[in-house]
Amino acid sequence: MNMKKWSTMGLAASMVLVAAGCGKATPTETTKPAASASPTTAASAAPTTATKAKLTGDFEIQYFVGGYGDKWWKKVIADFQAANPDLKIKESAGPKINEQMKPRWIAGNPPDFVYIDGPELFDRQMVTDGQLEDLTDWIKDAKNVDGDKIIDLLAQKPQEFDGKIYNIPFVMSSWGIFYDKALFKDKGWAEPKDFEDFMATSEKIKAAGINPFIHTGKYPYYINGGVLLPAIVSANNNDYKLLQDMSTNNLEAWKNPAIIKGLNKIVQMRDKGYIDKASVQINHTDSQSLFLQHKDAFIPNGLWLPNEMAKDVPATFDFGFIPSITQDKGGKVVANTSTATFGIAKKAKNKDAAKAFMQFVFSKTQASQWAELSGAPSNVKGDISSSKAPNFVKDAAKFLSSPDTVVVPTVSFAADVDKAMQDATVALTIGTITPEQWVTRVTDVVAKQKK
């Protein structure tokens, strides 16, 4: 998929990792059927393919409520309920739902359908523990409610675990760098096209009395996802296979000089004084608040940021988004993507309803509604240029469909390795270690994983 070209599409975001504190909604769990959609909506949402057996019984959906909110979930469940009035739908949802539902998964009494996103829920671990239904054969020919093969609609194909497919990516976010277009227009600053531009613009920003760059020190995977990993890909001649080899704990991959080159981009930012010193001790919402107050001009984040901070965004704020700023002059933009997926529990009590819901959500209509209601693109191909999706989502879609963008498939590291990478990056940003020491720290953990 190196330099993969996508036709105009709806992207999706959060994320190999979604911030553990992204959610603001109150946890909810209800057995009350979702509110019916309007007759017009219900009619348009109903399946257009040959009618199958009527869906009945209980059907439980587990979904995490984070930066993307729950507006789409309420809408799609209402539409599905209207199309299947004899089904009793139960929503188990909220910012802490993954933690709350964990005992049920362990006890073998899981919900039927699960949105794999947010803290305490890891697809690789769920597969290892035998918690997810094997969808390999089903997804080959499964069609959505419009009669289109789901697999053909996906911008990023499902990840395989030992050749098997257990979850299907619906949300396709991208890490990147946000800035305020309105502020930049007022100050006469141009959007940086490469690292040289970024550094030059940062110097102007610093001279204006504004911190050029802030990140989330308590959750360093933000700066890793938005800055470091794209920098490593750029330094490796735009070949993202290096990241994939690193994620499999291949010690030889960790010796690649592209890693040091990528780390040195952060060192240059640090040594020029462009990284806000407050970064090291603050969480995601605090860093995002400072960014919205124009205390800082750039922030690495995922596409959920504007929706997550919706209540605090100034009226004049105009989100600008760049997938990467670490490429050399003339180099391609690198979009480090992250997906959130849908799965069906292996011990689901209503697998027919779960598969029907999977077919329902993977329609272009629902994908478009996701972009509008969540503020993030979906993984379903389709033109969102005329939709009501926010402009920054459309900007991201343009980047990800451009031949000048290297689209990096979701890469996930072992938990201990990822933690070591995060801790080492924080140390690097404050100058307590060198890039070489960063590599040593992480490879020591990688070596332990190999034993």
Superfamily of structural domain 176-301+413-450? Periplasmic binding protein-like II (3.40.190.10)
Structure confidence at residue 286 (pLDDT): 97
pLDDT digits (tens, 9 = 90+) for 133-161: 999 999 999 999 999 999 999 988 898 88
Structure confidence at residue 210 (pLDDT): 98
pLDDT band with cut points at 50, 70 and 90 for residue 378: confident
CATH fold label, 28-174+338-408: D-Maltodextrin-Binding Protein; domain 2 (3.40.190)
Is 8's pLDDT higher than 70? no
Mark 369-390 as b/e (b = at least 16 C-beta within 10 Å): bbbbbbbbbbbbbbebeebebb
Angle among Cα 123, 160, 132 to the nearest 5 degrees reads: 40
d(CA 50, CA 393): 35
pLDDT digits (tens, 9 = 90+) for 309-347: 989 999 999 999 999 999 999 999 999 998 899 999 999
Residue pair 393/376 in contact (Cβ under 8 Å)? The answer is: yes
Is 421's pLDDT higher than 60? yes
Closest to 287 measured CA to CA, from 279, 417, 257, 354? 279
Is 25's pLDDT higher than 70? no
d(CA 90, CA 357): 13
Is 359's pLDDT higher than 60? yes
- pTM for this one? 0.74
Residue pair 147/166 in contact (Cβ under 8 Å)? The answer is: no
Structure confidence at residue 111 (pLDDT): 98
Does 402 or 88 have the greater pLDDT score? Answer: 88
Is 18's pLDDT higher than 50? no
pLDDT band with cut points at 50, 70 and 90 for residue 1: very low
**What are the two backbone dihedrals, phi and then psi, of residue 246, each rounded to the nearest 5 degrees?**
-60, -40
Confirm whether 28-174+338-408 and 176-301+413-450 share one CATH topology: yes
Is 399's pLDDT higher than 90? no
Structure confidence at residue 383 (pLDDT): 56
Closest to 124 measured CA to CA, from 248, 37, 272, 230? 248
Counting residues of the chain whose pLDDT is more than 90, the rounded percentage is 69
Structure confidence at residue 118 (pLDDT): 86
Does 402 or 275 have the greater pLDDT score? Answer: 275
**What are the two backbone dihedrals, phi and then psi, of residue 258, each rounded to the nearest 5 degrees?**
-60, -30
pLDDT band with cut points at 50, 70 and 90 for residue 116: very high
List, as one string, the DSSP characters of 180-247.
Answer: EHHHHHHHTPPPPSSHHHHHHHHHHHHHTT-EEE---TTSTHHHIIIIIHHHHHHHTTT-THHHHHHH
Token duo for residue 118: 């947010």
Which residues lie below 8 Å from residue 78, measured CB to CB, with a gap of 6+? 34, 35, 36, 37
Structure confidence at residue 398 (pLDDT): 82
Mean pLDDT check: name the lowest of 169-173, 187-191, 236-240.
169-173
pLDDT digits (tens, 9 = 90+) for 425-443: 999 999 999 999 999 999 9
**Mean of per-residue pLDDT scores for the chain:** 87
Residue pair 365/45 in contact (Cβ under 8 Å)? The answer is: yes
pLDDT band with cut points at 50, 70 and 90 for residue 384: low
d(CA 412, CA 159): 11
Token duo for residue 116: 């794999």
Q: Which residue's structure tokens are 């799609």?
A: 76
d(CA 155, CA 333): 18
Token duo for residue 293: 């107050």
Residue pair 87/357 in contact (Cβ under 8 Å)? The answer is: no
* Mean pLDDT computed over 113-124: 89
Is 308's pLDDT higher than 70? yes
Single-letter amino acid, residue 287: S
* Domain parsing of the chain, residue ranges: 28-174+338-408, 176-301+413-450
